[in-house]
Structure 1
Amino acid sequence: MWLSAEARADVEAGKAKAQACVACHGPMGNSTDRQYPVLAGQPARYTYLQLKDFRERRRKDPRMSPIAAKLSKDDMQDLADYFAAQKPAPIDFKADSVAVEGGSRKSATELCAKCHPNNFSGQNEVPRVAGQHYQYIVKQLQDFRSRIRTNDAGNMGSVARNLTDEDIRNLASYIANLH
């Protein structure tokens, strides 16, 4: 884990706090609503930083920003550790094989695995995007491309700015299809 033994968040406290997240992110962080990300299995460091960015308005969303504004540092650490400890459930997505192949090629061209190694499973500040909802991936890539989302030190923005709509659909098909 990314926290020291002394500062280790309380996963059980995170479980209790996560009950407020179920309506959008599903039980144990396994969202079945395609507009909300699956939080189960996300690296704790990534989840913590996203919550902090929502709280500090570096990342904005009309639903998440007000919720995160009320979270303490301990709340965010507890939630991050809780969701990191959960197992992601497979999503219901039937990918078109042509789109998946196109996404695989584009991923190789853009060197996506350089930042998203281990089959897009996430690490540290890099999210697990494998098996994420297709619609959510499309929206995030579009938001990075249009600079609506900028809380990544410019890394994703520099990659996404040259992606076409077809590239985005293909990448989302490929990534959502990974398990």
Structure 2
Amino acid sequence: MVFASGLAWAQQSAAQQPAVPAKAAACAACHGADGQPIMPVYPIIAGQSSRYIYLQLRDFQEGRRTNEVMSHTAMTRDDMHELASYFSTQKPPRQKFLPNPDKVKLGKLKAEETLCTMCHLGGFAGQNEIPRVAGQNYDYIIKQLSDFKARRRTNDAGNMTSVANTLSAQDIENLGHFLTGL
């Protein structure tokens, strides 16, 4: 009986798999079909945790996070879970951005000072609802840190807003070089 229900689940999952890339096609214009965007202003979602991706999609849909495109996407909870699962299994790209070594050093010091790894973990790989920021697009990192600082992005528990308030524009730039270079 257990085998039969497992087989039915596997068949159902296999049948649903072709639909996921088709659903992901709507994401491709900005994020790329595999979660690797062409333009650096968009986040790399390939390899993010499924939980993080799902929560961001939900926050856009429910108005806790805003973006002129993402805030208007119509998805069911199942769609969000399927897309989150799909993109979480994609491989993040190697960065083409060439960080400035001096800014990398300063960014690393600032990351240590502000205890970034307390949430983002060692290697900045993220966990659950905390994003992987290692190797993220430089422009995206700068925008998100700046938005947290200016309180234009507030869909966290207040942690990022508190940290970002302590950062200067130069700190943000240095952190961008450090994180993108990981």
> TM-score under structure 2 normalisation?
0.90
**Structure 1 position 14 matched with structure 2 position 20:** yes
| 1:52-95 Cα distance to aligned partner (Å, 9 max, x none) | 0000000001111111xx11000000000000010001121000
User: Identity over aligned residues, as a percent?
Assistant: 49
**Structure 1 position 83 matched with structure 2 position 87:** yes
Mapped to 2, the partners of 1:129 and 1:165 lie a distance apart of: 18
**Structure 1 position 54 matched with structure 2 position 60:** yes
Show the counterpart of 1:174. 178
Helix, strand or coil for the counterpart of 1:99? helix
Give the counterpart letter for 1:57 in structure 2.
G
Give the counterpart letter for 2:29 in structure 1.
A
Show the counterpart of 1:142. 146
Runs of 4+ in structure 1 off by over 4 angstroms are 9-12
Mapped to 2, the partners of 1:142 and 1:160 lie a distance apart of: 7
Please list every run of 5 or more consecutive structure 1 residues that lacks an aligned counterpart in the other structure.
Answer: none
With 14-23 and 40-49 compared, the bigger mean Cα shift is at 14-23
Taking the TM superposition and a 5 Å limit, the aligned residue runs for 1:121-140 are 121-140=125-144
Contact 1:144 1:157 in 2 (8 A): yes
Contact 1:144 1:150 in 2 (8 A): yes
Contact 1:12 1:82 in 2 (8 A): no
Give the counterpart letter for 2:172 in structure 1.
I
| 1:102-138 Cα distance to aligned partner (Å, 9 max, x none) | 0000000000011011311121000011111101000
Structure 1 residue 153 displacement after superposition: 1.2
Contact 1:11 1:81 in 2 (8 A): no
RMSD of aligned alpha carbons: 1.7
Structure 1 residue 12 displacement after superposition: 4.4
> TM-score under structure 1 normalisation?
0.91
Mapped to 1, the partners of 2:168 and 2:18 lie a distance apart of: 43
1:163 to 161, 164, 167: 167
Show the counterpart of 1:38. 44
Mapped to 2, the partners of 1:100 and 1:127 lie a distance apart of: 20
Please list every run of 5 or more consecutive structure 2 residues that lacks an aligned counterpart in the other structure.
Answer: 1-5
Show the counterpart of 2:76. 72
